[in-house]
């Protein structure tokens, strides 16, 4: 009975559709550069439509058929193209284009042609068509899918021409499967997500202090021992660890399969072996390669280990050369990433072998860099030669500019864009991936209490969308060195692939707009509308994603007007320069502190109290002071230690009315935004001074010995 009813419904729905078929919409992510529609009859896409492909494009035809089937549940037949005048035709015509990866889609009532400058261009044309196809009521209703007659399903593609090409040749996403291992099937889904976003470079970070992930046949212990850690620190690097063995690795055969999977989607995989730092997992297997000789463990904490490869030990250098050679045997990538970030020099300064090496090489410190910085350059340049000997190019994080890096190295600018600017001026090619805009492991919502715990920071989609990859400081000639844009996902606090997806999307939507289009004029509202279609696809494929941009703010922004609201306020000592934002008035502007510590809604103080004086402009009676503070222990931000309220009639002589101590938050305590209040017998006064002090970092914190930060907002007085 139910089935019959549904059948009738489906029949009715499609009877209606014969009058007005659902229309494709070419306003997609990334926005195509040129779309010119005409008023001619549209093309009807239905189960009879055949996909014709030129030789070499069979796989592209299969992808198109699969995508249409995913959305409309009709399978399109595929045939080789021999001049047919109907259907959808896929072809490569390099002479019609001026650059790689470009495409043109031409729609008439009889035929759709998707023409590329190369097969990748055809693939991106197919992605555009895929994202344009309308979702119908049957797209996601599995019950109806089994009931409808396939002959009923069709949609219209408006007639016209779309021409499109990428602004950046390098369009990357990075993934760190070392802090938390991600299985191969998940990585394949990641590649699917990249393909949907027209991205072509997958930066696969395969070695870390906390785990080694690639099989190296010459050094089997790397995966027997180095791929597993015997527990993981809980929270933001406290003293408590779980005892769960965590790890996993990819065999070379599995990686070859992955490379093939990526290549079919026109994605190159760039392997990264991070050296000479971030090597503790390797040292756990081969302790003789470290300066102290160990013993070492696969690290169970987050952060940057001081135990790095010994640069003065020839065996350690040979080890890296061997590893890189095996990596290049597996990965055909034209780029090989050799890391270079965050390599502490404390061991090298103490190590006789490293110091002898410095002498042998005749390295001298100068006013810019230490001898040990130049020792790192020696390691990086030596490994760059190994890579270049095999016809590949090296990529390194921007720290490799500290010293005398080889000119051919490509610089990944992550600590802001400054490294990228310096590198481009020196003639290096550059990939922009600044943590300020493109670290997708940061919070994406202001309401961090409702978000899964993450490393910190605040990076909403809006901020990604605002990013300008081509710094104005560079000349047009220097700007040509900015070959690409990439976002990074580090996984210290991301233990599952579902969480990776949540962090990635929809920020990847904003990223692809930059990579593919880099529009001068940006229209965030229109962008969000286009994201809605992407969200339908995410739902279709069961991708997890964050939906903040689709929901109006659920969080209260303002406080009720109180005695302090917008009254003249002064600070006896200014906040830290980086966290001053609008200055003292942020504290009583009526808007609640929200978001992460760097959202602009908090003032940050370190090593001295927040000491604010508010002028009520007349004598008032008060009995209650209320404020919020943010706690993010990994970022050295703790709750206040003490709050004191003083009052004055003349603004000069103050008398204390209340003082309260607040115990320090422990590792097991929750982080986020907390309210604090003090109450006292009613007093009458014109001036109120609120003094909020901070704790020192506790012994179980890696920053022990330093004062903690306090981040304060919205002082309310009643």
Backbone torsions φ then ψ of 121, nearest 5 degrees: -60, -45
Q: What angle do CA 147, 150, 156 make, to 5 degrees?
A: 125
Q: 353 contacts which partner out of ligand ACM, Zn ion, none, CB within 5 to 8 A by kind?
A: Zn ion
Q: Does 299 bind ligand ACM (CB under 6 A)?
A: no
| Nearest alpha-carbon partner for 707 in 589, 567, 612, 606 | 606
DSSP, collapsed to helix, strand or coil, labels residue 712 as strand
- By a kind-dependent CB cut-off of 5 to 8 A, residue 414 interacts, out of ligand ACM, Zn ion, none, with ligand ACM
**Residue with smallest beta-carbon separation from ligand ACM:** 341
In this structure, what token pair is assigned to residue 699? 């012994």
Indicate the helix (H) or strand (E) that contains 640. strand 640-648
Q: Which of 312, 419, 420, 595 binds Zn ion (CB under 5 A)?
A: 312
Number of H helices, E strands in the chain: 19, 28
Q: Which does 626 bind (CB under 5 to 8 A by kind): ligand ACM, Zn ion, none?
A: none
257 makes contact with ligand ACM (CB under 6 A): no
User: Any contact of residue 611 with ligand ACM (CB under 6 A)?
Assistant: no
Nearest to 191 by CA among 266, 248, 273, 127: 266
User: Please, what is the minimum distance in Å from the beta carbon of residue 360 to Zn ion?
Assistant: 13
User: How far is it, in rounded angstroms, from Cα 617 to Cα 655?
Assistant: 18
**Of these partners, Zn ion, ligand ACM, none, which one is at the site of residue 52 (CB under 5 to 8 Å by kind)?**
none
H/E element, 334: none
Residue 203 CB, shortest distance to ligand ACM, in Å, is 10
Which residues in the 4-23 window bind Zn ion by CB under 5 A?
Answer: none
In whole angstroms, what is the distance from residue 604 CA to residue 443 CA? 18
Q: Does 306 bind ligand ACM (CB under 6 A)?
A: no
The residue among 83, 51, 40, 32 whose CA lies nearest residue 198 is 32
Verify binding: residue 353, Zn ion, rule CB under 5 A: yes
Report the nearest approach of ligand ACM to the CB of residue 397 (Å).
5
The nearest distance, CB 309 to Zn ion, in angstroms, is: 8
Q: Least separation, in Å, of the C-beta of 308 and Zn ion?
A: 8
Pick the stretch among 347-355, 369-377, 470-478, 502-510 that binds Zn ion (CB under 5 A): 347-355
414: contact with ligand ACM by CB under 6 A: yes
Count of positions on this chain that bind ligand ACM (CB under 6 A): 4
Q: What does 397 interact with, of ligand ACM, Zn ion, none (CB < 5 to 8 A by kind)?
A: ligand ACM
Joined tokens for residue 187: 């990585």
By CB under 6 A, tell whether 397 contacts ligand ACM: yes
Beta-carbon contacts of 552 under 8 Å, excluding residues fewer than 6 positions away, are none
Among 264, 342, 447, 669, binds ligand ACM (CB under 6 A): 342
Please state the closest distance from residue 293 (CB atom) to Zn ion, in A: 10
- Compute the least distance from the CB of residue 290 to Zn ion, in Å: 7
Segment 249-253 long-range contacts (CB within 8 Å, at least 24 positions apart): 249/181, 249/212, 249/213, 249/214, 249/215, 249/223, 250/184, 250/206, 250/213, 250/214, 250/215, 251/215, 252/214, 252/215, 252/217, 252/326, 252/329, 252/330
Termini Cα distance of the chain = 65
**Residues touching Zn ion: how many (CB under 5 A)?**
6
3-class DSSP string for 368-400: CCCHHHHHHHHHHHHHHHHHHHCCCEEEEEHHH
397 phi/psi in degrees, rounded to 5 = -65, 160
For residue 105, give Cα distances in angstroms to 32, 41, 128: 11, 16, 9
Please state the closest distance from residue 106 (CB atom) to ligand ACM, in A.
43
Residue 81 interaction partner, one of ligand ACM, Zn ion, none, beta carbon < 5-8 Å per kind: none
Q: Which helix (H) or strand (E) holds 65?
A: helix 58-72
d(CA 580, CA 77): 62
Question: What minimum distance in Å lies between the beta carbon of 226 and ligand ACM?
Answer: 19
Segment holding 533, helix H or strand E: helix 524-540
Nearer to ligand ACM, 118 or 272 (CB): 272
605 binds, among ligand ACM, Zn ion, none (CB under 5 to 8 A by kind): none
Between residues 290 and 396, which has the closer beta carbon with respect to ligand ACM?
396
**How many Cα neighbours within 13 Å face the side chain of 491?**
29
Question: Partners of 257 in the beta sheet?
Answer: none
Residue among 54 and 272 whose Cβ is closer to ligand ACM: 272
- Can you list the pairs that 468-471 forms with residues at least 24 positions away whose Cβ atoms lie under 8 Å? 469/168, 469/432, 469/514, 469/518, 470/518, 471/417, 471/420, 471/421, 471/424
CA distance 672 to 22: 46
The interface partner of residue 709, options being ligand ACM, Zn ion, none and the CB cut-off 5 to 8 Å by kind, is none
Site membership for Zn ion, residue 657 (CB under 5 A): no
Rounded to a whole number, what is the largest CA-CA distance in the chain?
A: 94
Query: Binding ligand ACM by CB under 6 A: which of 221, 341, 418, 696?
Result: 341
Residue with tokens 């995966």: 223
With respect to Zn ion, which residue has the nearer C-beta, 269 or 351? Answer: 351
Q: Which of ligand ACM, Zn ion, none does residue 312 bind to, with CB < 5 to 8 Å depending on kind?
A: Zn ion
Q: Confirm if 333 and 273 have CB atoms less than 8 A apart.
A: no
Residue 310 near which of Zn ion, ligand ACM, none (CB within 5-8 Å, type-dependent): Zn ion
| Binding partner of 342, given ligand ACM, Zn ion, none, CB within 5-8 angstroms per partner class | ligand ACM
Paired tokens of 188: 């394949």
The DSSP symbol for 530 reads H
Q: How far apart are the C-alpha atoms of 659 and 485, rounded to whole Å? A: 52
Q: Which does 341 bind (CB under 5 to 8 A by kind): Zn ion, ligand ACM, none?
A: ligand ACM
| The one among 45, 175, 262, 310 contacting Zn ion by CB under 5 A | 310
351 binds Zn ion (CB under 5 A): yes
Smaller CB distance to Zn ion: residue 277 or 456?
A: 277
Q: What is the smallest separation between the CB atom of 356 and Zn ion, expressed in angstroms?
A: 9
**Minimum separation from the CB atom of position 379 to ligand ACM (A):** 17
Considering only residues 109-138, where is the footprint of ligand ACM by CB under 6 A?
A: none
Near Zn ion by CB under 5 A, which window of 307-315, 546-554, 588-596, 638-646?
307-315
559/171 Cα distance (integer angstroms): 43
Residues 6+ apart with CB under 8 A from 571: 583, 584, 610, 611, 612, 613
Q: What one-character DSSP code corresponds to residue 89?
A: E
Residue placing its CB nearer to Zn ion in the complex, 64 or 351: 351
Residue 52 or 414: the one with the smaller Cβ distance to ligand ACM is 414
CA distance 535 to 192: 15
User: Taking CB within 5 to 8 Å according to partner kind, which of Zn ion, ligand ACM, none is near residue 567?
Assistant: none
The one-character DSSP state at 214 is B
At 32, list the tokens.
């195509």
Should residue 418 be labelled a site residue for ligand ACM when binding is judged by CB under 6 A?
Answer: no
Task: Write down the least CB distance from residue 278 to ligand ACM, Å.
Answer: 8
What, of ligand ACM, Zn ion, none, does residue 351 touch, CB below 5 to 8 Å by kind?
Answer: Zn ion
One residue of 35, 157, 282, 354 binding Zn ion per CB under 5 A: 354
Q: Which does 291 bind (CB under 5 to 8 A by kind): ligand ACM, Zn ion, none?
A: Zn ion
194 binds, among Zn ion, ligand ACM, none (CB under 5 to 8 A by kind): none
Nearer to ligand ACM, 274 or 716 (CB): 274
* Residue ranges that bind Zn ion, judged by CB under 5 A: 291, 310, 312, 351, 353-354
* Residue ranges that bind ligand ACM, judged by CB under 6 A: 341-342, 397, 414
């Amino acid at each position: 009975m139910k089935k019959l009813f549904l059948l009738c419904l489906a029949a009715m729905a499609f009877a209606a559709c014969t009058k007005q078929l659902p229309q494709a919409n070419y306003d997609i992510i990334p926005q195509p550069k040129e779309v010119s529609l005409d008023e001619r009859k549209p093309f009807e896409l239905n189960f009879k439509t055949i996909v014709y492909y030129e030789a070499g494009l069979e796989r592209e035809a299969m992808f198109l058929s699969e995508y249409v089937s995913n959305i409309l549940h009709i399978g399109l037949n595929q045939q080789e193209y021999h001049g047919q005048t109907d259907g959808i035709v896929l072809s490569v015509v390099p002479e019609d284009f001026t650059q790689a990866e470009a495409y043109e889609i031409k729609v008439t009532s009889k035929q759709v042609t998707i023409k590329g400058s190369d097969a990748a261009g055809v693939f991106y044309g197919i992605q555009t068509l895929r994202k344009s196809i309308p979702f119908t009521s049957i797209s996601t209703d599995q019950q109806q899918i089994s009931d409808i007659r396939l002959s009923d399903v069709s949609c219209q593609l408006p007639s016209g021409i779309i021409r499109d090409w990428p602004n950046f040749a390098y369009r990357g996403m990075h993934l760190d499967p070392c802090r938390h291992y991600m299985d191969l099937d998940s990585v394949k889904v990641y590649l699917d997500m990249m393909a949907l976003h027209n991205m072509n470079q997958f930066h696969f970070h395969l070695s870390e202090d906390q785990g080694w992930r690639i099989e190296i046949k010459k050094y089997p212990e790397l995966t027997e021992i180095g791929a597993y850690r015997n527990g993981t620190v809980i929270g933001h690097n406290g003293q408590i660890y779980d005892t769960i063995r965590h790890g996993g690795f990819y065999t070379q055969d599995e990686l070859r399969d992955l490379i093939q999977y990526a290549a079919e989607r026109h994605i190159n995989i760039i392997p990264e072996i991070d050296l000479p730092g971030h090597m503790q997992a390797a040292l756990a297997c081969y302790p003789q390669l470290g300066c102290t000789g160990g013993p070492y463990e696969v690290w169970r904490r987050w952060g940057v280990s001081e135990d790095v490869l010994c640069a003065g030990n020839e065996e350690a250098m040979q080890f890296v050369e061997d590893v890189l050679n095996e990596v290049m045997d597996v990965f055909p990538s034209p780029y090989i990433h050799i890391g270079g970030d965050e390599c502490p020099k404390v061991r090298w300064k103490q190590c006789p072998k490293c110091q002898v090496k410095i002498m042998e090489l005749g390295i001298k410190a100068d006013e810019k860099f230490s001898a040990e910085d130049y020792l790192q350059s020696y390691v990086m340049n030596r490994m760059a030669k190994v890579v270049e000997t095999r016809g590949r190019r090296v990529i390194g994080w921007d720290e490799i500019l500290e010293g005398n890096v080889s000119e051919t190295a490509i610089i990944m600018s992550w600590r802001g864009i400054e490294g990228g600017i310096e590198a481009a001026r020196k003639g290096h090619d550059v990939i922009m991936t600044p943590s300020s805009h493109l670290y997708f492991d940061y919070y994406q919502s202001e309401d961090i209490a409702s978000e899964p715990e993450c490393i910190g920071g605040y990076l909403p989609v809006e901020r990604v969308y605002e990013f300008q990859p081509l710094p104005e400081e560079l000349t047009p000639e220097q700007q040509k060195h900015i070959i690409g844009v990439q976002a990074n996902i580090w996984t210290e606090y991301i233990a599952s692939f579902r969480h990776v997806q949540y962090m990635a999307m929809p920020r990847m939507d904003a990223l692809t707009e930059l990579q593919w289009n880099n529009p001068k004029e940006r229209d965030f509202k229109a962008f969000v509308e286009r994201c809605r279609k992407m969200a339908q696809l995410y739902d279709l494929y069961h991708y997890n994603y964050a939906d903040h941009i689709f929901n109006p703010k659920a969080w209260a922004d303002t406080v009720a007007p109180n005695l302090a609201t917008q009254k003249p306020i002064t600070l006896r000592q200014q906040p830290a320069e980086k966290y001053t934002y609008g200055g003292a008035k942020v504290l009583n502007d009526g808007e609640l502190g929200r978001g992460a510590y760097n959202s602009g809604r908090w003032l940050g103080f370190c090593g001295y109290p927040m000491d604010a004086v508010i002028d009520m402009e007349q004598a008032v009676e008060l009995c209650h002071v209320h404020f919020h503070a943010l706690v993010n222990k990994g970022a050295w931000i703790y709750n206040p230690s003490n709050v004191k309220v003083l009052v004055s009639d003349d603004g000069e002589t103050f008398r204390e009315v209340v003082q309260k101590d607040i115990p320090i938050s422990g590792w097991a305590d929750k982080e986020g935004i907390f309210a604090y209040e003090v109450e006292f017998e009613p007093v009458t006064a014109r001036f109120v001074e609120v003094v909020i002090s901070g704790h020192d970092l506790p012994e179980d914190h890696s920053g022990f010995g330093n004062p903690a930060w306090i981040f304060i907002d919205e002082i309310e007085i009643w």
